[in-house]
């Protein structure tokens, strides 16, 4: 009895599989036929599609008007589902950013205050050092000024000595120049008053 029931169930399963295969093969054959028909009559199919679109355009318009509120409600619900997680994420990021910004601002403010304090201390120490070194600077400045004045005085004295020596030499030359001119005039007069001899007067015959 059990064997007969099992055999009947096996036959039913095999028959069901055959039916499914036949249906699948029948559907595939229909799809292939439709594909071939569309490929053969593509122009007719395009014209029929345009006619159907024009004929169904009022129905499509009414359907769009009716479905617009539904799409709007769907979009609002989707935005609500998106806004709630985004609000949680934004709140977490904002709080973390606020904490990080507060800590960073405090550290930066402390750094600026420390740097300003160090700069003020350095400036005060520099002023104190300058005040302590003022006598030495004044002494060096006075010494350099005195040395410069002394060098200028010596240079002026040397220039005055040179001018005096030049004036003395010029006066000596002025004293010597009249004597020199008198001698030159006398020499010229002597040369002019000297008798002129020709070659015949100066010729002397050979002594044999």
CA distances 99 to 87, 88, 103, 106, 112, Å, are 18, 17, 6, 11, 20
Angle between the N-to-C axes of helices 134-193 and 42-132, in degrees from 0 to 180, rounded to the nearest 10: 80
**One pLDDT digit (tens) per residue for the chain, 208 residues:** 556 656 666 766 776 766 666 666 767 777 778 777 777 777 877 788 788 777 878 887 888 787 877 778 778 777 777 777 777 787 788 888 888 888 888 889 999 999 999 999 888 888 787 777 777 777 777 777 788 877 777 777 777 777 666 665 555 555 555 555 566 666 666 666 655 555 444 445 444 4
Q: pTM of whole model > 0.75?
A: no
In angstroms, the Cα distances linking 43 to 32, 37, 49, 56 are: 18, 11, 10, 20
Task: Please report, for residues 4, 15, 21, the alpha-carbon distance to residue 18 in angstroms, rounded to integers and kept in the order given.
Answer: 21, 5, 5
Q: For the chain, how far is it from start to end, CA to CA, in angstroms? A: 201
CA distance 174 to 166: 12
């Amino acid at each position: 009895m059990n064997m007969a029931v099992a055999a009947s169930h096996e036959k039913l399963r095999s028959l069901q599989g055959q039916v499914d295969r036949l249906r699948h093969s029948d559907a595939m054959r229909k799809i292939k036929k439709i594909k071939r028909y569309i490929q053969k009559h593509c122009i007719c199919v395009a014209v029929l599609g345009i006619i159907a679109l024009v004929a169904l355009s009022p129905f499509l318009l009414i359907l769009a008007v009716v479905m617009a509120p539904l799409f709007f409600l769907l979009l609002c619900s989707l935005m609500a589902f998106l806004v709630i997680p985004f609000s949680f994420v934004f709140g977490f990021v904002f709080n973390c950013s606020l904490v990080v910004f507060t800590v960073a601002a405090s550290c930066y403010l402390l750094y600026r205050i420390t740097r300003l304090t160090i700069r003020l201390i350095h400036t005060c120490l520099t002023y104190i050092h300058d005040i302590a070194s003022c006598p030495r600077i004044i002494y060096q400045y006075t010494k350099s000024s005195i040395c410069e004045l002394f060098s200028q005085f010596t240079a002026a004295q040397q220039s005055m000595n040179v001018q005096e020596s030049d004036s003395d030499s010029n006066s000596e030359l002025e004293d010597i120049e009249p004597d020199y001119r008198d001698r030159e005039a006398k020499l010229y007069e002597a040369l002019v008053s000297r008798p002129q001899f020709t070659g015949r007067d100066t010729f002397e015959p050979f002594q044999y």
